[in-house]
Amino acid sequence: MDSKTIKIIQERESNVRSYVRSFPTTFEKSKDSIIWDEHGRRFIDFFAGAGSLNYGHNNQIVNNAVIDYLKQDGILLSLDKSTKAKVDFIQSFVDIILKPRDLDYKLQFTGPTGTNVVEAALKLARKVKKRSGIFAFTNAYHGATIGSLSVTANTAYRNEFYGIQSNVSFLPFDGYFGNDVNTANYIEKILTDKSSGYEIPAAMIVECVQGEGGINIASKKWLRSISEICKKFDILLILDEIQIGNGRSGSFFSFEEAGIVPDMVCMSKSIGGGFPMSLLLLKPEIDQWKPGEHSGTFRGNNLAFVAAKELLSYWKDDQFVNEIAAKSLIVKNRLEMLANNELCSIKAIRGKGLIWGIELELPELASKITKKAFEKGLLIETCGSLKNIIKLMPPLVIENALLEEGLNLLFESFNEVIAENTQHLQVKLV
């Protein structure tokens, strides 16, 4: 980043800026799984817009559809008026996603960010059940506005001055106490015991895979138990699919494998293919809103509708699912080989689909490795409460050769950082 750019960023952009500190360059163009800066330097993207670019940068089928739409002077902003772009998307979503999975949901378009769809779900749950309590989980991340922040666990985002408690109770996620403790049994116990101090909440909100929380994966058995507990105690089950949905876990919805049907599903990020869009799926009987009771000026982003409709073509058959599974196996095998090297100080490898985490014994090494990776031309971030987990999240459409090249750059970064921090002991590259 040149001195002029640094000056304007430091002087004029808020201190809240984040990713520009991790990736200190000025990006100019992108395509599929590659992004270039203004100097023509090439970066392989294992970051994917924090999960917003599952289908890659400037996906060609999206670009073609959007350009054609603009040439026809198609509606851009529509609030919640009916437009052809919206109707076409709804019909395609029902036909390609909902009906084949035997799901009966209505669609609510909220403000275009993930945090807004979470706000809508929490607000509606409380309205429907006429209770104010919400159960959330340890290591959860659901957004940074007041309502969604109230169900976000990481203290890095929380502050008592925000007034974020909002009658939310945090419960242990699957595996929080290790594999020997079934936290679903604990949850059922506190709901059954009249002296536990817990009231029956309006809803539970959960991620099948906690992305920001550290790539913590809920088992199918645990998810089924949580679903049954919600039914037993008349609690609405909200699934946050904002980052892990749209195929990131390997299937379109991350809850599919567990065979459960949530009452509400929060979607955003990749659903719009890079265009801002958020969507709440809700069972018809839960749709008890009054007209305009939850609104947002940009809930009618028609470019996002056009893009989203085109991207549903990836889900017309099993080919895309099979491709994700094959790429997932490549990552899994390579990471397990890396973990076998004792000098790498790797505590755990975990993931599914194309979201994987490398948990390090020494938290300070994670940021050094991602910084080194950036210097080598790889965009990758950390996650977890200690930021000690390197998070791999490439576009789902990444070519196998590029995936392997990115993994090689990551392992080279491990090699150099570990060597620098262990008296120059060499780590054999996988």
pLDDT value of position 280: 98
As a whole number of angstroms, the distance between CA 132 and CA 144 comes to 20
Going by C-alpha positions, the residue among 103, 149, 427, 122 that lies closest to residue 259 is: 103
pLDDT value of position 419: 85
In this prediction, residues 399-417 reach a mean pLDDT of 96
As a whole number of angstroms, the distance between CA 191 and CA 233 comes to 8
* CB contact at 8 A, 277 and 112: yes
Taking the CB of residue 260, how many other CB atoms lie within 10 A of it? Answer: 20
Q: What architecture is domain 74-315?
A: 3-Layer(aba) Sandwich (3.40)
In this prediction, residues 295-302 reach a mean pLDDT of 93
Stated pTM of the model:
0.95
* CB contact at 8 A, 90 and 99: no
Residue 207 has pLDDT above 60, yes or no: yes
203: part of which helix (H) or strand (E)? strand 203-206
Residue 412 has pLDDT above 50, yes or no: yes
In this prediction, residues 74-78 reach a mean pLDDT of 96
As a whole number of angstroms, the distance between CA 121 and CA 332 comes to 34
Domain ranges across the chain: 3-59+318-421, 74-315
Structure tokens at 24: 């200190």
Could you tell me the pLDDT band of residue 429, with boundaries at 50, 70 and 90? Answer: very low
* Percent of the chain's residues with pLDDT above 90: 85
Q: Which long-range contacts (CB under 8 A, 24 or more apart) does 424-427 make?
A: 425/343, 427/341, 427/343, 427/344
CA atoms within 13 A on the CB side of 376: 22
In this prediction, residues 214-225 reach a mean pLDDT of 98
**Residue 107, phi then psi, degrees to nearest 5:** -110, 125
Digit-coded pLDDT (tens) for 98-126: 999 999 999 999 999 999 999 999 999 99
C-alpha Rg value of the chain to the nearest Å: 22
* CB contact at 8 A, 409 and 44: yes
Going by C-alpha positions, the residue among 197, 199, 194, 265 that lies closest to residue 227 is: 265
In this prediction, residues 228-247 reach a mean pLDDT of 98
Instruction: Report the amino acid identity of residue 220.
Output: K
What is the DSSP secondary structure assignment for residue 426, as one 8-state letter? -
User: Between β-strands 346-352 and 27-31, what pairing exists: parallel, antiparallel or unpaired?
Assistant: unpaired
Residue 426 has pLDDT above 90, yes or no: no
Collect all residues with Cβ–Cβ distance below 8 Å to 19 and sequence separation of at least 6: 50, 381
Going by C-alpha positions, the residue among 324, 421, 291 that lies closest to residue 366 is: 421
* CB contact at 8 A, 112 and 304: yes
pLDDT value of position 423: 53
Going by C-alpha positions, the residue among 54, 117, 72 that lies closest to residue 282 is: 117
End-to-end Cα, the chain, rounded Å: 32
Digit-coded pLDDT (tens) for 122-146: 999 999 999 999 999 999 999 999 9
Residue 172 has pLDDT above 90, yes or no: yes
170: part of which helix (H) or strand (E)? strand 168-171
CA atoms within 13 A on the CB side of 304: 25
As a whole number of angstroms, the distance between CA 134 and CA 140 comes to 13
Collect all residues with Cβ–Cβ distance below 8 Å to 324 and sequence separation of at least 6: 247, 250, 353, 354, 396
> What's the CATH code, domain 3-59+318-421?
3.90.1150.10
How many separate helices (H) and strands (E) can be counted in the chain?
13, 17
